[in-house]
């Protein structure tokens, strides 16, 4: 009687994950970290919770990021990068109005609307996530190009030359971000569904408000 044939099974390779699997694991961990830090304060989130949410392990967090600061930093930098690129491109090619700028901003931020809450918590809370230098560096990387953008729009005659770019920057940030802080309660309190159509209309409204004001002209 012949011996039962058993196909040879491939041996698992030890060592680092493949490039594709590594990218997937890392992306899943970053997405899980973003969700956790949106829902909770930095101190309340654990690496175990991030790993579980990503269907991964704490060992993978240590492998890719080191400790809890690692996934937070990676999540913050990668989520913030499209905003930095948007303002950088605006400096290189200043827009003729705010309409397209607002639409681009909302298109980026609606991918992760709760990220505004993360930024706010970083700015306001003492003993917040990570050193102040990290948060300040990345906020400054967006703030400085934004002020250059507004100054160039003034030079082109798009913005009133009497406006202080720093003050205008604060006003624009307030206009752009406040709707995201209200977003979780919009449907219940204002009967508004914050879908793509809503954010497009909000972009147009914000542009009109900045460019024309809200008071009836005599």
Q: For the segment 174-189, what is each residue's pLDDT rounded down to a tens digit?
A: 999 899 989 889 999 9
Contact 34, 112 (CB under 8 A): yes
Contacts of 120 (CB under 8 A, 6+ apart): 177, 181
Distance (Å, whole) CA 186 – CA 194: 7
User: What is the CATH number that goes with domain 69-212?
Assistant: 1.10.357
What are the φ/ψ torsions at residue 116 (nearest 5 degrees)?
-60, -35
- Mean local confidence (pLDDT), 112-136: 71
**In the predicted model, what is the mean pLDDT of the chain?**
83
Say yes or no to pLDDT of 28 above 90. Answer: yes
Q: What pLDDT sits at residue 2?
A: 41
Q: What pLDDT sits at residue 33?
A: 94
Q: What pLDDT sits at residue 3?
A: 41
Say yes or no to pLDDT of 17 above 80. Answer: no
Q: What pLDDT sits at residue 80?
A: 84
Distance (Å, whole) CA 146 – CA 91: 8
Say yes or no to pLDDT of 20 above 70. Answer: no
Q: What pLDDT sits at residue 16?
A: 54
Q: What pLDDT sits at residue 179?
A: 92
- 44-48, 57-61, 100-104 — which is least confidently predicted? 100-104
Say yes or no to pLDDT of 133 above 50. Answer: yes
Contact 83, 105 (CB under 8 A): yes
Q: What pLDDT sits at residue 13?
A: 46
125: pLDDT confidence band, cut at 50, 70 and 90? Answer: low
- Looking at per-residue pLDDT, the higher value among 11 and 108 belongs to 108
Distance (Å, whole) CA 120 – CA 173: 12
Contact 67, 29 (CB under 8 A): no
214: pLDDT confidence band, cut at 50, 70 and 90? Answer: confident
Report residue 96 as tokens: 């003729």
127: pLDDT confidence band, cut at 50, 70 and 90? Answer: low
């729009």: which residue's tokens? 153
Contact 206, 98 (CB under 8 A): yes
Say yes or no to pLDDT of 64 above 70. Answer: yes
């Amino acid at each position: 009687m012949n011996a039962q044939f058993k196909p040879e099974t491939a041996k698992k390779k030890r060592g680092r994950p493949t490039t594709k699997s590594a990218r997937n694991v890392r992306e899943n961990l970053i997405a899980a970290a973003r969700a956790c830090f949106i829902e909770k304060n930095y101190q309340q989130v654990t690496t175990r919770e991030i790993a579980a949410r990503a269907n991964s392990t704490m060992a993978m967090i240590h492998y890719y990021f080191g400790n809890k600061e690692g996934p937070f930093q990676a999540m913050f930098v990668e989520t913030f990068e499209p905003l930095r690129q948007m303002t950088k491109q605006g400096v290189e090619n200043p827009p003729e109005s705010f309409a397209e700028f607002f639409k681009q901003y909302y298109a980026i931020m609606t991918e992760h609307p709760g990220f505004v809450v993360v930024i706010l918590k970083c700015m306001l809370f003492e003993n917040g996530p990570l050193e102040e230098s990290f948060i300040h560096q990345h906020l400054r990387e967006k703030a400085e190009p934004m002020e250059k953008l507004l100054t160039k729009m003034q030079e082109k005659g798009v913005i009133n030359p009497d406006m202080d770019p720093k003050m205008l920057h604060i006003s624009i940030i307030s206009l752009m971000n406040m709707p995201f802080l209200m977003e979780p309660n919009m449907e219940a309190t204002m009967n508004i569904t914050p879908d793509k159509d809503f954010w497009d209309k909000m972009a147009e409204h914000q542009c009109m408000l900045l460019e024309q004001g809200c008071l009836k002209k005599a």
